[in-house]
Structure 1
């Protein structure tokens, strides 16, 4: 994980407005959200796993599944997840389990981030600052 200090940290926005601005740029709300926090993720590459920029946020007014929620942005960071090749040794092989356990476990969920992706991440953060900060 590589943190990218940003002027976005601590800024507040209506969640709906952020979604409207960021989704057309390729950001998605990460699957790790909860009622009080979540993140916008931008997939940079899928080289031997995947590399992405994550912009975390926390609800400061309302819950994430409620209309009119306001969120505060945290410090953006880069993540690289490296997956092992082949079949997962720990996957259940039964018919029912095969439908759900068909993907390999991460070999390294916090793999090193290549310098080229660090530069891309910094540029993405700068672009977000330009778009979101008046």
Structure 2
């Protein structure tokens, strides 16, 4: 995990505003949210290792399952997850294999982050700052 400094840290927004601004840029709300916290993910690459920019947020007024919830943005970070490579013994591959692998635990949940992806992450954060901070 590589923390990234950002002007968006500790800012407060209605969640729908963040969704309206970030989703068109390729961010998705990560599937492991709960009623108090969640995160936006941007997949940078998925060759051999999945590289993400993650922007966590916490509910400060309401809960995430409630329309109109307000959230506080926390420190963005980069993460790398390495999953098991190759085909299984049954020979299932491609999209079918990918459907099953999405539930697989990472072989290495904190894989090495190459410097080129750190620079990409910094550029993405600057873009997010331009979207969120007038």
Tell me the TM-score range normalised by the shorter chain.
Answer: 0.7 to 0.9
- Structure 2 match to 1:112: 112
Count of aligned positions: 124
Over aligned residues, Cα RMSD in angstroms? 1.9
Corresponding residue for residue 91 of structure 2: none
1:2 CA drift (Å): 0.2
Distance apart, 1:105 and its partner CA: 3.6
Q: How much has 1:102 moved relative to structure 2?
A: 3.8
Offset of 1:87 from its aligned partner? 5.8
- Residue 71 of structure 1 pairs with residue 71 of structure 2: yes
Distance 1:23 1:60 in 2: 21
TM-score for both structures, normalised by structure 2: 0.86
Q: Deviations over 1:47-101 (max 9, x none)?
A: 212101000000000000101100000000000001122467xxxxxxxxxxxx9
How many angstroms apart in 2 are the aligned matches of 1:102 and 1:23? 25
Q: Give the Cα–Cα distance (whole angstroms) in 2 for the partners of residues 110 and 87 of structure 1.
A: 23
Please give the per-residue CA displacement for 1:1-41, whole angstroms capped at 9, x wherever unaligned.
Answer: 00001111100000011101110000000011100000000
Say which one has the larger Rg. 1
Structure 1: which 4+ aligned runs deviate by more than 4 Å? Answer: none
> Which runs of no fewer than 5 residues in structure 2 stay unpaired?
89-98
Identify the residue that residue 123 of structure 1 maps to in structure 2: 123
In the other structure, the counterpart of 1:55 is 55
